[in-house]
Amino acid sequence: MRAVSNFLRKRKKLTKTSGQKAEQFAEAFLCRQGLIFVARNFFCRTGEIDLIFRDQQTYVFVEVRFRADLTHGSAAESLAQSKLNKVRNSAALWLQKNNKLDQSSRFDTVLFDIEIDEQHLTWLKAAF
């Protein structure tokens, strides 16, 4: 039983590390595309937003997804409607807290399947 517990702890730590690496890579990639970085990992009662950017006068809320193994579906397939609703609600709260309700916004996703590199990166603008 202890071996299973240790395995699950190591797997969770590896998953968290991979997620952070994917977010960092996505952040650098989007900056190279001309977006202006605003914030990362905005947490609130309704959920979390991985990355927030500005694209000219539009605030861009970015969900980053990584799948090292496709046996349970691709990164795109992991975007459940409930997760997208949480991101939308969190973005609305961020806009309100930052007095930006009059600004336009959009929701992008950056997806990685198998590897965290540009070859395996998919950027979907206005994805949801």
User: Any idea what the CATH number is for the domain that residue 17 is in?
Assistant: 3.40.1350.10
CA distances from 47 to 57, 70, 86, 92 (A): 24, 25, 5, 11
pLDDT at residue 17, rounded to an integer: 82
Tokens of 12: 């969770």
pLDDT at residue 3, rounded to an integer: 53
Tokens of 120: 């395996």
Cα–Cα distance for residue pair 104/54, rounded to 1 Å: 10
pLDDT, one tens digit per residue, over 97-118 is 999 999 999 999 999 998 999 9
Q: Check residue 34 and report its DSSP letter.
A: T
pLDDT at residue 18, rounded to an integer: 84
Range of the domain at 42: 2-124
Q: Is the pLDDT of residue 8 over 80?
A: no
Count of structural domains within the chain: 1
Question: Tokens 């206005």 appear where?
Answer: 126
Q: Please compute the mean of the pLDDT values over residues 13-36 and round it to a whole number.
A: 88
| Short-list 97, 96, 35, CA closest to 60 | 35
SS3 89: helix
pLDDT, one tens digit per residue, over 52-95 is 999 999 999 999 999 988 888 999 999 999 999 999 999 999 99
Q: Is the pLDDT of residue 22 over 80?
A: yes
Alpha carbon 112 to its chain centroid, in Å, reads 11
